[in-house]
């Protein structure tokens, strides 16, 4: 059951959503139906005061401008009806903001993400209302969900989620490769940080993306890297070189009983500069150019921890960094389609072209067979 403070938060986000919609929008009707549904577990003050049928309840047909105007007014009254006392999570986030460089916008983003993860009614609301295109319901930085429910423009949210933002730098939030924004499990973070500081083995179950198998691991943790995704840098007995373990693929993380001796020559920052994603190779200088259509997304995207971004006079954006892992770069760049051009190195451009030719040939053959 929602607390009074969670109902207040939910009404706040619903009011922001309503203010960004036209009454003829599909999402406007979905929002009105959701609020009117008895099973949504939110009771607005206006609903409790009036026992007669609410004017925004829809029996059939499309919502009228008057119905949506009344709904907006009810949500505005709920939001303006006095600030509820923050719950423990909200209070802790406020204390965290005072001790760190987190802004109020960062706190709002994190609070909504935490509520979305832990309270099914929030997730249900987003799925039901923002069900349309652009992966809105996934809380994607390229979609509109965060913009609608936080009352901020997509550009403002992207700015707060840039690679130098405290939310990402401190590991509180990670951005998946497809743009989904997710909070990092604080229990996993605390356990791994404890293992790193005390030089204790870390034990966990790990799901391999390559094989799809889940295996039990015991690793010597050296550090944590944050970027689009959060990774543990750790050594194992069966591999001398440290490798990256994706935190999202870990389960059952706990401290091991054994201590380990850390290699005094290991440099975490130097290690991070060697890689693009999870591949470790000899670093190369990379320069990418994104056309004006993709410039905003590219400027807000973290390709590498040491990247530089430059806005060009013609509306394009240039991204430069130095890293290894050409195969993984190609896999990622394919998702940008023809909006990206590889300026440097030629080897990366050639490998990307070869990969695209192979994909085109493969899918061309499949199409011919199906005819």
Mean pLDDT for back-to-back runs of 10 residues, the chain (371 residues): 77 84 84 76 57 48 82 82 74 83 84 84 81 62 78 76 68 71 81 91 89 90 77 86 86 93 84 61 87 81 78 92 82 85 93 89 68 58
Give the closest residue to 29 by CA, choosing from 77, 54, 61, 73.
Answer: 61
Please tell me the distance from the alpha carbon of residue 139 to that of residue 126, in angstroms, as a whole number: 9
Q: Cα separation of 113 and 371, whole Å?
A: 46
Structure tokens at 50: 């009036």
CA 300 – CA 112 distance, rounded (Å): 20
Burial pattern 321-334, b for ≥16 Cβ within 10 A else e, equals bebbbbebbbebbe
**In sequence order, what are the residues at sequence separation of 6 or more whose Cβ sits closer than 8 angstroms to the Cβ of residue 194?**
200, 255
Mapped onto helix, strand or coil, the DSSP state of residue 297 is helix
Give ∠ CA 230-185-270 in degrees, rounded to 5.
20
CB 284 within 8 A of CB 348: yes
Q: For residues 326 and 305, is the Cβ–Cβ distance under 8 A?
A: no
Q: Which of 110, 289, 292 is nearest to 186 (CA)?
A: 110
**Whole-number Å distance between alpha carbons of 307 and 193:** 26
Q: What local confidence, expressed as pLDDT, does residue 50 receive?
A: 46
Q: Which residues pair with 318 in a beta bridge?
A: 289, 310
Give residues with Cβ within 8 angstroms of 352, minimum separation 6. 329, 330, 333, 334, 342
pTM: 0.59
Backbone angles phi, psi at 4, to 5 degrees: -60, -35
The residue count of the chain comes to 371
Burial of 313 (0-12, 13-18, 19+ CB in 10 A): exposed
What's the pLDDT score for residue 132? 58
Q: What's residue 66's pLDDT?
A: 86
Question: 118, 124 in Cβ contact below 8 A?
Answer: no
């Amino acid at each position: 059951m929602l607390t009074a403070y969670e109902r207040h938060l939910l009404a706040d986000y619903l009011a922001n959503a309503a203010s960004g919609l036209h009454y003829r929008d599909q999402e406007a009707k979905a929002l009105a139906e959701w609020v009117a549904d008895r099973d949504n577990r939110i009771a607005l003050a206006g609903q409790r005061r009036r026992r007669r049928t609410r004017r925004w309840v829809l029996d059939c047909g499309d919502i009228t401008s008057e119905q949506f105007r009344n709904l907006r007014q009810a949500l505005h009254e709920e939001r303006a009806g006095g600030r509820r006392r923050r719950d423990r999570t909200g209070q802790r986030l406020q204390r965290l903001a005072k001790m760190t460089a987190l802004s109020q916008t960062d706190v709002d983003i994190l609070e909504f993400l935490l509520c979305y993860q832990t309270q099914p009614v929030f997730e249900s609301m987003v799925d039901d209302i923002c069900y349309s295109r652009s992966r809105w319901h996934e809380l994607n930085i390229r979609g509109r969900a965060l913009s609608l429910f936080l009352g901020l423009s997509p550009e403002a949210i992207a700015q707060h989620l840039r690679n130098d933002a405290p939310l990402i730098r401190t590991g509180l939030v990670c951005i998946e490769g497809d743009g989904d924004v997710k909070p990092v499990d604080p229990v996993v973070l605390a356990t791994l940080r404890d293992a790193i500081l005390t030089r204790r083995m870390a034990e966990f179950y790990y799901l391999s993306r390559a094989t799809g198998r889940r295996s039990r691991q015991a690793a010597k943790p050296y550090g944590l890297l944050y970027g689009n995704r959060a990774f543990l840098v750790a050594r194992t007995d069966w591999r001398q070189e440290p490798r990256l373990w994706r935190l999202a693929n870990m389960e059952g993380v706990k401290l091991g009983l054994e201590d380990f001796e850390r290699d005094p020559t290991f440099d975490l920052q130097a290690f991070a500069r060697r890689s693009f994603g999870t591949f470790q190779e000899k670093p190369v200088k990379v320069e990418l150019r994104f056309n004006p259509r993709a410039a905003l997304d590219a400027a807000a995207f973290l390709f590498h921890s040491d990247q530089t971004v430059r806005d060009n006079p013609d509306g394009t954006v240039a991204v430069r960094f130095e890293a290894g892992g050409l195969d993984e770069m190609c896999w990622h760049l394919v998702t940008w389609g023809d909006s990206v051009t590889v300026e440097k190195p030629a080897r990366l451009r050639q490998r990307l072209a070869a990969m695209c030719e192979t994909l085109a040939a493969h899918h061309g053959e499949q199409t011919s067979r199906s005819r």
